[in-house]
Structure 1
């Protein structure tokens, strides 16, 4: 059977999108290839046309999802969006409640620490890029100070989102987000 030009790329993109959502919702270890391919409407055998292994898929998902996050940071920077807006958007109840479409760092960071070097290298590179962009949004201080603040703010954001998702008390979860916003915005605005 002949497929239209671009079919293979579209199928690969579809697998990436399905896997990305499933990994973020349930965790990498909990999601099998059969489940991904079933939800994508494809056979298990079709997987190996696009990816060499599950680890290859994980690396591609991370790179893709973090590239999209990076593009949002770049757009914010180009459009003069304040870092405070980025912080508030990230530490929102909406983001907390939609892990499947949210930041892959907050959803997967604990698992990534146990993955092979190549996957961690891909993750590290993308996180470093995001930190650079966040540092560019900070208005005060030397380049070294802005980088230090960006690392601290990103760490607060990721950790607070993870904690807010993990607790089963909505009021406490909301408080975690609100207090993290306050702390991150304070750091961003320090001279």
Structure 2
């Protein structure tokens, strides 16, 4: 059977997008190749026409998910210089992000699992963390000295990801909301402490 031009690329993209959603929702280890391919309406054997291994797919799915989150944060950071970081923090630590795990930040959903991994999954997650730190440093006020920018950005990223993880982990909705509020305040305090 002949397929239209671009069919293989479109199929590969569909596999990666579906995997990214399932990995966020269930974890990388819990998602099997056979079940994933079945969800898409393809056979397990077809997987190997696109990827060498599940790790290869996971690396690509992580890259897609991490770039999507960076794009959303860049969009949130298009405010005036003084409001950019606040908009990024508010966007990341929103109830919408907390409640939408399937479309949320891969760092917040898979950091712990990736920390136990080796190879391409951990390497891709490490690259994602580095890129997130660079992005946040771009949104820091210009009054923060260059020598402090990376350290300050690392602290803000830690605050964002840790807050999101804890707000999703608790089964108490009020405590979850309080974590988000406390995280927004803490991220602002981190920046203000060195901006003056």
Residue of structure 2 in register with 1:147 after alignment: 150
Q: How many residues align?
A: 191
8 Å Cα contact 2:70/2:132 also seen in 1: yes
Residue of structure 1 in register with 2:172 after alignment: 169
Residue of structure 2 in register with 1:31 after alignment: 31
8 Å Cα contact 2:167/2:177 also seen in 1: yes
**Structure 1 position 14 matched with structure 2 position 14:** yes
What CA deviation, in whole Å up to 9, does each residue of 1:120-161 have, x standing for no partner? 222212221221121011012112212111111111110111
Higher mean Cα deviation, 94-103 or 125-134? Answer: 125-134
Deviation at 1:162, TM superposition (A): 0.6
Cα distance in 2, alignment partners of residues 76 and 165 from structure 1: 22
Q: Secondary structure at the match of 1:50?
A: coil
Cα distance in 1, alignment partners of residues 97 and 78 from structure 2: 23
Q: Secondary structure at the match of 2:34?
A: helix
Instruction: Give the unaligned 5+ runs of structure 2.
Output: none
8 Å Cα contact 2:63/2:124 also seen in 1: yes
Q: Secondary structure at the match of 1:49?
A: coil
8 Å Cα contact 2:111/2:125 also seen in 1: no
TM-score calculated relative to the size of structure 1: 0.93
Deviation at 1:188, TM superposition (A): 2.4
8 Å Cα contact 1:77/1:136 also seen in 2: no
**Structure 1 position 87 matched with structure 2 position 92:** no
Cα distance in 1, alignment partners of residues 32 and 9 from structure 2: 22
Please provide the CA RMSD for this pair. 1.6
Pick closer, same or farther for the CA change 1:10–1:59 going to 2, 3 Å.
Answer: same
Cα distance in 2, alignment partners of residues 170 and 74 from structure 1: 29
8 Å Cα contact 1:96/1:165 also seen in 2: yes
Match of 1:179 among 179, 182, 195: 182
